[in-house]
Amino acid sequence: MKQFLQNYVPAIKQLPLKKKYTKEELLTRDFLIEEGNGVQIYYAPHNEYINPHAKIFIVGITPGFEQMNTAISTARSCLETGCSLEEIKYQCKVQARFSGALRKNLLDLLRQLKLNEFLHIDDVEELFTTHDELLHTLSLIPYPVFVKGKNYTGHQPKLLKTPILLKYIEHYFVDELSNLHNVLIIPLGKGVEEALLYLANHQMINEKQILRGFPHPSGANAHRFKQLEDNKPYMMKQLNDYFLGGNK
């Protein structure tokens, strides 16, 4: 189930050196991990780096093609300059985690919760720059998932009722979380939150670590600021209890 960068180095080296690839170049047998139930899971190298000192753990459903593209193009560039595998893993994480417009939207929402004040930093953007030691990111399914060539959204097929996907959540994700201590988990959207509560109900993770009510930051979610405003009082109470109330 868990994949390793060294096994994909030959395939990455075969790609031309450039910043943007097409789906025809990346969604190939060379990068296909497995398929079934109408979904295809492909490799991307940005989720092999673990930050065990993180205080915030932001969780999505699965990387999209944009993240896959960024991660593989970063790895290709690093291989060209002779970086070590460990350095490549870190650079892929830095460049690809919630890349593009998604990151901007995410930061806008986190600012509304004044998360930076709880972390004693000037702005939440520092989680991705000068204070990235405070941040760890992962998706419930750590590798890009596609349905008929399109990014998987978590709905069809249903995440918790699809064995090929559920096994990544119950094993890979839970194992990753075991490397982190006293982290606040911020699920991006209701689908991720439901999956985390599923794990909590099965005593796999601690429910007190989950910030409940955070909307998905995708631009496609036009109601994200309304959802944030509706849930903000409850989320602020959770943040105060977690950081100031000794409930870690």
pLDDT tens figures, 61-98? 999 999 999 999 999 999 999 999 999 999 999 999 88
154: buried, middle or exposed (CB in 10 Å: 19+, 13-18, 0-12)? buried
Q: Output helix, strand, coil percentages for the chain, rounded to the nearest 5.
A: 50, 10, 40
Give the full edge-to-edge strand order of the sheet including 184-187: 135-139, 56-60, 184-187
pTM for the predicted model, two decimal places = 0.94
A 10 A CB-CB count for 138 gives 22
Cβ–Cβ under 8 Å, residues 85 and 6 = yes
Q: What is the pLDDT of residues 177-190, one digit of tens each?
A: 999 988 999 999 99
Provide the pLDDT for residue 100. Answer: 79
Is pLDDT above 70 for 11?
A: yes
Provide the pLDDT for residue 246. Answer: 58
* Residue 10 banded pLDDT, cuts 50, 70, 90: very high
Alpha helix positions (H), 56-99:
65-80, 85-96
**Structural domains in the chain, sorted by start:** 14-244 (3.40.470.10)
* Residue 142 banded pLDDT, cuts 50, 70, 90: very high
Share of the chain above pLDDT 90, in %: 91
Provide the pLDDT for residue 247. Answer: 54
Beta bridge partners of 146: 40, 151
